[in-house]
Amino acid sequence: MPDVRMPNDCPLMTSSMPASTTCPALLISAPASGQGKTSVTAALARSARRRGQRVRVFKTGPDYLDPMILSRASGHPVHQLDLFMGGVDHCRALLAEAAQEADLILVEGVMGLFDGQPSSADLAAAFGLPVMVVLDASAMAQTFAALATGLARFRADLKVVGVVANRVGSDHHAALLAEGLPADLPLVAALKRAPELSLPERHLGLVQALELPDLDAQLDAWADAWDAGCARGQRSDAVWQPLDFSSAPADPVRALGPALAGRRIAVAQDACFSFIYPANLSMLRTLGAELRLFSPLAGEDLPDCDALWLPGGYPELHAPALRAHPRFFASLRAHLDAGRPLLAECGGMLVLLDRLTDADGQAHPMAGLMPGQAALQPKLAALGLQSIDWPEGEVRGHSFHYSTMLTPLTPVAVARNPNAGRTAEPLYIDGSLRASYVHHYFPSQPAAVAAFFGGAR
């Protein structure tokens, strides 16, 4: 590979590679959450993009908020790579597709490198992805090398090619961190501590990208910090070696053909209804559906449609605005009265209840289309991967919420947690309404999802 250097002597690949399934790829992980994986991944993506690189970023595991940031950094939608929700073949197909149009593939891990089943390490091992580890070095010196080396040697089927020291205090601190590292585990970058570059958070994680007006300026500042941090690091060509993804299988979604041809599916999408996997939208379009996106918060009416998807988000923050929409709730009632399919996930389900009480204890009347009430609580109510049996087949996804709900409806199914966790969400069906706390990953069972959205009018 040609020796093309980023400013401050930080290596990156050229943008002259022909379209193929061969592309440099890197999984960015850490020993735990909160080490700076998202900011480092976003910084690297924005830095490469500013130099004309075509960057594709993926997120390991179920997540909506980090991908919003990474999408802005890379200028391209960020898809999930999850061995449970999507499976090995689906993930490999996504990587192969990205390799055909990218100069660099970045994959942000989830939690710690070895946490969860499947873990980020499992994903890296499945596809031979080299791993770069991010460590918060703010309270350590030589122990940094011991921790990094332990992560690198813990599993023989992993290739940890470098380490990033985050929240470094000084150049001298960076030198102390690097001196104990083995030769095959270079310090790729040392990033100075900069509290002003932190992003605001709320109860479900980072504040959404669309709510951060200065996000692009902050991403550029992160990229500047990355470029400067590389000057305090060591060169490592092994980090950027290309991988071959040519063995990807056929796309199971395309094998279904135009199963939703002619179907108009409305999708609520705004700051209230924002927890949407890009792969879900892509799958519906691939199956021939015409997607009609609309914003209830902006006062937009429900489009003329054959089916409707209300994804999760933050109804507790926008309940008054929803209630103020003169026709929104009435149009939902008319949709259900006409027997048209409506999928309501998590926050989308809460909008259909009789009442929703926010974190301040204020109760808000909602649509009254699903009997029951919900209330936000200060502690996490549910978290975990989920597998749930729809009448059409098993669909996979995840659950993550701070609210609790009471409803007289009897669930038709209860989800299973692959990690034996306590979270096991019920599925409710009432006429053409299908509702659950589960955030479904449509490509986990394309035929079942197509059968629902293509159901009776």
Catalytic residues: 346
Burial of 261 (0-12, 13-18, 19+ CB in 10 A): exposed
Measure the CA–CA gap between 8 and 456, rounded to whole angstroms. Answer: 61
Question: How far is residue 110's CA from residue 59's CA, in Å, rounded to a whole number?
Answer: 8
357 to 351, 364, 403: CA distances (angstroms): 11, 6, 9
Contact 400, 412 (CB under 8 A): no
Six-digit token string for 343:
């999928």
Q: What token pair was written down for 239?
A: 């980090």
Give the SS3 label for residue 97: helix
At residue 270's C-alpha, the angle toward residues 266 and 273, to 5°, is 70
Q: How far is residue 281's CA from residue 292's CA, in Å, rounded to a whole number?
A: 11
Question: Do 441 and 86 form a contact (C-beta atoms < 8 A)?
Answer: yes
Q: How many CB atoms lie within 10 A of CB 2?
A: 6
Side chain identity at residue 343, one-letter code? L
Helix (H) or strand (E) holding 106: strand 104-108
Output the six-digit token pair for 31: 């020993």
DSSP single-letter state for residue 196 = G
Residue 442 near residue 277, CB atoms below 8 Å: yes
Query: 108 near 30, Cβ under 8 Å?
Result: no
* Amino acid of residue 346: C
Angstrom distance (rounded) from CA 161 to CA 131: 6
What is the Cα 12 distance to its own chain's centre? 25
